[in-house]
Structure 1
Amino acid sequence: MILYEYPFNERVRTYLRLEHLFARLGQLLGRDDALDHHFAFVTIFEIIEVAARAELKSDVLKDLEKHKQHMIAFRSNASIAQDVLEGVITQIESAFAAVNAQTGKAGASLNDNEWMTSVRSRIAIPAGTCEFDLPAYFHWQHHSPARRREDLMRWASSLWPLAQAINLLLKLLRDTGSAQKVMAVGGQFQQHLPQGRSFQLLRLRIDEQLGLVPEISGNRLIVSVRLLRPSPDDKLPVAAAEDAGFELTLCS
């Protein structure tokens, strides 16, 4: 099964982008090749760029507090495992404290690192980090993998509180949904959303063996999925005409 996710608002879209970048950074840091560490460097800059949205920190803190209050309301519910509940509340409080303790935007302290700034200014230019452009960076790439990894971890350390908070918020959001099996008739599916309820994320799982790609659109009133079939000759995908089932989850 292939999982596709579709955000219904800009805030969740930003969370998903950051989750994607943090996951990539984690994979690259675990490798030893200098080229992988170069792209880890690139990813750190991408995270800083996405996290530069002015209201991001405020949104994260508000969402954590909202989830905390929602969880606290279950403390008197006898059907809820209280030890598990308290563990989740503790995680939320810890994430809130870590993000709140940071001054400014995530990764802002790296802007004061003149050497990193010099690399950042060249890294977006095609082949801008060649040895004749940035000899000091070329020299850094010849350090041992352990030395490079230590440097990257140190530079990325100011980003980890945001990463932990984003991962927790998305986990809590995904846990609110219940999967349902639906059918796209003639490659088309639409579902009206209930009034008075605001959904933030759609999750769609489809069997890889079907060879179909879902094109998802939606708003607070309706969700639409159009199934496409990739073209074998590098052309754009074409609309599928057959019936096909998939799993749909709406998270609020």
Structure 2
Amino acid sequence: MILFEYPFNERIRALMRLESLLDRMIFFAKPGDARHHQVALAALFDLLDATERTDVKSSVLQDLERQRNVLASLKDHPSVDEKTLATMLIELEKVAANLNAVGKTGQELRANEWLSSLRGRLAVPGGGTQVDMPSFHAWQYRTEAERCSDLERWMSTLMPLHAGISMVMRLLRETGQATDAVAPKGAFQQMLAGKTYQLLRVWVEESLGVFPEISANKYMVWIRYSAQDGEHRPHAVTHDVNFKMTLCAL
């Protein structure tokens, strides 16, 4: 099954973009070829760009506090496992405390003169070559352990944000219940009766070779399935498509 996710508002859209960049950075920072580590640095610089003008930290802290209050109100609910709830509250408080303890997102990295110069060069197509940045070329020839150590140190300032976003998105995704659905002739609509959701999750069988084009608001979800062969523009399918979907709201 291929999972597609659609955010209902710009706040969740921004968190999903940051989540994707953080995942890419962490993946390519693992021990491996120096070219993988260049991708990790590019993702790190994209994160600095994405957080430069927005106070992501405060937004995530507000979401964590909101969830803590919601969970705390369930303490006396008879159907709630007290041990599981207590563990979740401790985890929430720990993630929030770690995030609150750091300064502005990426500030230490922006103050690093070498990283700042490299950030400017990598923004230029092919700018990270030895022609433009011999110091970066030399860094790529350091041992794998040395490069990984540097990356881990630089990434450490972003890890509290990563933990906070992961917690918010995990709690959001866990609020929904997957249901089976069918898109007659490739099109599906569902009225939402004004209920506010934040995320739509859609699972499609990989073998079907289709993907959903989604639009949604507080009144309705609209999904149109299309296919694409790699050479031509995507085209709408005209056969029924079975899929699973979940509507999520914190």
Class of the TM-score when normalised by the shorter of the 2 chains: over 0.9
In the other structure, the counterpart of 1:155 is 154
Structure 2: segments with no counterpart, 5+ residues: none
**Residue in 2 aligned with 1:198?**
196
Deviation at 1:72, TM superposition (A): 0.3
Equivalent residue, structure 2, for 1:86: 86
Deviation at 1:90, TM superposition (A): 0.9
**1:51 to partner: Cα distance:** 2.1
Counterpart of 2:170 in structure 1: which amino acid? K
- 1:172: how far off? 0.2
Q: Structure 1 segments of 4 or more deviating over 3 A?
A: none
Matching residue's letter, 2:166? N
| Percentage of identical aligned residues | 38
* Structure 1 residue 53, shift from structure 2 partner: 4.0
User: What is the distance in 2 between the residues matched to 1:67 and 1:144?
Assistant: 43
In 2, the alpha carbon distance for the partners of 1:55 and 1:109 equals: 16
**1:248 maps to 2:217:** no
Partner of 2:110: 111
The equivalent residue for 2:206 is 208
Give me the TM-score of the superposition, normalised by structure 2.
0.97
Q: Secondary structure at the match of 2:185?
A: coil
Contact 1:231 1:238 survives alignment (8 Å)? no
Say which SS state the counterpart of residue 129 (structure 2) adopts: coil
Tell me the residue number matched to 1:235.
232
8 Å CA contact retained: 1:107, 1:156: no
What is the total number of aligned residue pairs between the two structures? 249
CA drift at 1:231: 2.9
One-letter amino acid of the counterpart of residue 191, structure 2: H
Question: What is the RMSD of the two structures over their aligned residues, measured on CA atoms?
Answer: 1.1
SS where residue 186 of structure 1 aligns? Answer: helix
Per-residue deviation, residues 133-158 of structure 1 (Å, max 9, x unmatched): 11111100000011000001101111
Q: 2: distance between equivalents of 1:112 and 1:54?
A: 18
* Deviation readout 1:68-126 (Å, 9 max, x if unpaired): 0000011111221111101111111111111111222x111111111111100110111
Q: Aligned equivalents of 2:133 and 2:190: distance in 1?
A: 54
Shift of 1:199: 0.2
Q: CA-to-partner distance for each residue in 1:36-61, whole Å, 9 max, x for gaps?
A: 01111111111111222423222111
Residue 75 (structure 1) aligns with: 75
- The answer for unaligned runs of 5 or more in structure 1 is none
Cα separation, 2, equivalents of 1:32 and 1:165: 27
Q: Which residue of 1 aligns with 2:14?
A: 14
Over residues 204-248 of structure 1, what are the superposed CA-to-partner deviations in whole Å (9 max), with x where a residue is unaligned? 00111111111011111111000001135x111111000111001
Matched, 1:145 2:144: yes
Q: Look up the match of 2:219.
A: 221
Tell me the distance in 2 between the aligned counterparts of 1:177 and 1:42: 34
Measure, in 1, the Cα distance between the counterparts of 2:123 and 2:151.
19
